[in-house]
Structures are given as C-alpha cells and as structure tokens.
A and B are shown apart, each in its own frame.
Chain A
Amino acid sequence: MKIIKRGMRLWITIASVFSFFGGWILLAHANKPAPLQFTQPAISAPASNSSFQSNNSNFPSGGFSFPIQSQPTFNRPILRTAGS
C-alpha cells in the first residue's frame, strides 16, 4: 500500500513539473499578438463611451485635460456659452 502511495505522489509530482514546463515552452514559442493598427476613415462607426482620459498620451489631438472647479454664480459674466 505504501509503495502505491509513494508511486502516486511521485507520478503526480513529475506530471505537474513536466506539465508546467511544457506549457511554458509552448507559450514561449507561440505567435505573439500583433499591435493594433487601424486607419480612421472620413466617417466611421461611432465609438462607445471612452474611458476617462487623464493624460496627454491618450489624447489623439495632442491636447490635454485639466480639471476645473465650477465658479460660483456671482462671478458669472453676462456673455456665456452653453450650447443649445
């Protein structure tokens, strides 16, 4: 019985080690994903809501973002642009 138990343990250990290294080698030699490339047509399907852009590198126009605190009402100029 002891011999069978030891044999089983040994078999599981060896199988695990070989599986691990086998998987490693397989992944190391697999094809790498190509970097995403796309061209923007003049008119394209709308993008879904993008995630929050917090730095320059995410902003294709080369612009940047900055947070602004709303100004209190009493400081407001009469001319205001708000859209319609």
Chain B
Amino acid sequence: MHYDQFRAMNSDVVLAASSNDQTQIKRGFYLTREYIRQAEQRFTRFTDTSELASLNRSAGDWFSVSPEMFQVLQAALSLADKTGGLFNPAVLPALKQAGYDRSIEEIKNTPVRGRAVQVLEMQDFRTIEFDLSARSVRLPEGMQVDLGGIAKGWIAEQAARQLANYSQACAVSAGGDIFLVNLPMDEPDWVIGLEDPLQPDHDLAILHVAPGAVATSTITKRKWQYNGRSQHHLIDPRTGQPAITEWLSVTVWASQAVEAEVYAKAVLIGGSVIAGELFSNYSDKAYLAVDQFGWVLGSKNYHEVFHV
C-alpha cells in the first residue's frame, strides 16, 4: 500500500492506494490532491470568493450553481429530510454566533470574546428551492448555509473514485471521513483505527470493514472558548446552540460518504433515542458510539459491519 498525506479542508488528508505500477500511483496521488484542493475552494465558507460564499450572499434570489454544488445541496436536502431536520446545514448563523466565524486553527487556541449568545430562530434547510432545468437554487431570505461536514464526505468519495482509476484498491480519508474502493490485494477487509475521543494518541478499537464509507462525528475536536464558555461546532438545530450530547463521538458505516457523515452527526446530536429510530430501518448502515466513560455502544447490526 502506498500513502500520501497532506493538510486540506482544515483536516489531515490521507490517500492510500495499492497497485504494482508506481508511476500510475504517483499520477493518481497528484491528480487527487489537485481535485481536493479545487473542491475545497468551492465549498469553503472561510473565503469570500468561494462558490458557497456567493450562494450565501444570494439568499433570497435564484443562484446558478456548479454541478458539484447542485449535487451536494440535493444530497443535503434529502438527508435533512431523512433525519427529520436534525441535520440542518442552515446552522451557519448559530455557528458564527457561537464564535466559529473563522477557521478552527484561528480560534481554537485563542479565547474569543464577543456579543452575548442569543437564541436564534433556526431556519429549516428543507425550505430551499431547486430549479433542475436551470441548475439553480434559491435559499430563503436570510438563510446561511455551512456544508463543512457533508462536503468533506462528498469530496472524499469523489476523490477516492478518481484515485481508483490509477490503482487496484484505494482509500481517501479527509479528517476521518473515509471512503474505501475495492479491497487491497489478498486482504479480507480494510483496517481502520477508531480514535479514542479522549486520548487522540490512542485508538479505542481496530475496525475491519468492507469497501464503503466510514465517518465519525465528535464534539472533542473542533472546540474553542467563547466569552469564557467552552463551545463546539455541532449545533443542535432544535436549540441553535452547541449540542448537549450523551456521547462524545459516533462512527457510522454506510455505502455513501454523505450518508455516513450526516447520520454520524444526527446520531451524535440526537443520542440513543434518535439512533434507535434512524437505524431501526437500516440494515445497510451501522454505528458505534463512544460515551464519556470510554464505553463503545453499537447498533443492533454493528457486528455485521464493524468487525472489531
């Protein structure tokens, strides 16, 4: 297996590919890096020149978007619906109010002071409108969208599918959102470490999984101090505040990266009751949750998916 590691999307990115042709692998790594960098420029909310920033500025009007943006927004709408609104990309005003108005590198080590946090009326992302023929979207007046997690998952999957053209089996990991294509030669499964949310230097378990997507959502990574209070990036759309969660992290396996990413987030926000509802009908998805005592809790079918 060959590896390439770099920083992008404010995360550690790992490319893994197996092939006997090293020239092909090198070319694959180079093109995948380029693809990820370009996709990041499109979906970031931290520059005024990104397509996402332009879309947010256009709220209230129809806005013509790229095929990539269209695809991610449609996936986001579908998943917002499936999670009963627990996944809501329209939480950007609440995120900014909580102090996450710059990249995490800028705020995580410097306590931020600002206006007192107020209860914001959350807009429901499901009120977004699509015009399929014109490939345009209309955000309702005042809606501001953050596609951070879902875009990262989507980029990981697209990048992995591209890298697969240059390798026999490959994986792309973007900050823990992993998409796996085919199985490495002579290997029965992919081997992935499940990081301990309380001790990032340790793994809680070694997971053996089939090709597909693995994503983890946690409240222990992107956190900062705002007006002397600890905040994290996972906004509960029911309250508009950083979620009070019973678990520290949730890891989901699904066939698509956007699904794994969004279900991990929804289960982390909603806890065990929502997990039971979301996963009762899905035998093709499974989750593992880590609580504050380091216990790992699994969905009914976890053993069919995660061979711990």
Residues of chain A having any CB pair with chain B under 8 Å = 40, 42-50, 52-54, 59-68, 70-73, 75-84
A84 engages B178 (CB within 8 Å):
no
A81 engages B214 (CB within 8 Å):
yes
Instruction: State in angstroms the CA–CA spacing of A73 and B199 once bound together.
Output: 11
User: Chain B interface mostly helix, strand, loop or mixed?
Assistant: mixed
A61 engages B216 (CB within 8 Å):
no
Contacts of B203 in A (CB 8 A): 70-71, 75-77, 80
Contacts of A60 in B (CB 8 A): 272-273, 275-276
A67 engages B193 (CB within 8 Å):
no
- Per-position 1/0 for B155-186, Cβ under 8 A of A: 00000000000000001010111100000000
A81 engages B193 (CB within 8 Å):
yes
Instruction: State in angstroms the CA–CA spacing of A50 and B247 once bound together.
Output: 9
Contacts of A76 in B (CB 8 A): 193, 203
A63 engages B14 (CB within 8 Å):
no
Contacts A40-B273, A65-B296, A71-B205 known; A77 to B175 CB distance under 8 Å?
A: no
Contacts of A40 in B (CB 8 A): 273-274, 277
Contacts of B62 in A (CB 8 A): none
Residues of chain B having any CB pair with chain A under 8 Å = 3, 10-11, 14, 16, 84-86, 149, 152, 171, 173, 175-178, 190-197, 199-207, 214-218, 220-222, 236-239, 243-246, 249, 251, 264, 269, 271-277, 279-280, 291, 293-300, 302, 308
Contacts A43-B85, A82-B216 known; A63 to B302 CB distance under 8 Å?
A: yes
Contacts A40-B277, A73-B202, A84-B221 known; A79 to B295 CB distance under 8 Å?
A: no
A45 engages B199 (CB within 8 Å):
no
Contacts of B152 in A (CB 8 A): 84
Partner of A66, one of B244, B269, B273, B295: B295
Of the A-B pairs whose beta carbons lie under 8 Å apart in the complex, a sample of 11, sorted by A's number, is A45-B238, A46-B239, A47-B273, A61-B272, A77-B193, A77-B203, A79-B191, A81-B177, A83-B176, A83-B197, A83-B249
CB distance from A60 to the nearest CB of B (A): 4
Instruction: State in angstroms the CA–CA spacing of A60 and B11 once bound together.
Output: 34
Contacts of A77 in B (CB 8 A): 191-193, 203, 206
Partner of B218, one of A49, A59, A83: A83
Of all chain A residues, the one with the shortest Cβ separation from B171 is A79
B297 engages A68 (CB within 8 Å):
no
Contacts A42-B84, A46-B239 known; A84 to B276 CB distance under 8 Å?
A: no
B291 engages A82 (CB within 8 Å):
no
Contacts of A45 in B (CB 8 A): 238-239
Instruction: State in angstroms the CA–CA spacing of A63 and B275 once bound together.
Output: 10
Contacts of B200 in A (CB 8 A): 82
Instruction: State in angstroms the CA–CA spacing of A44 and B272 once bound together.
Output: 13
Partner of B173, one of A70, A71, A79: A79
Q: A42-B85, A66-B297 are in contact. List 13 more A-B contacts (CB 8 A).
A: A40-B273, A50-B246, A50-B272, A59-B272, A60-B275, A61-B279, A66-B296, A67-B296, A71-B205, A75-B206, A76-B193, A78-B14, A79-B191
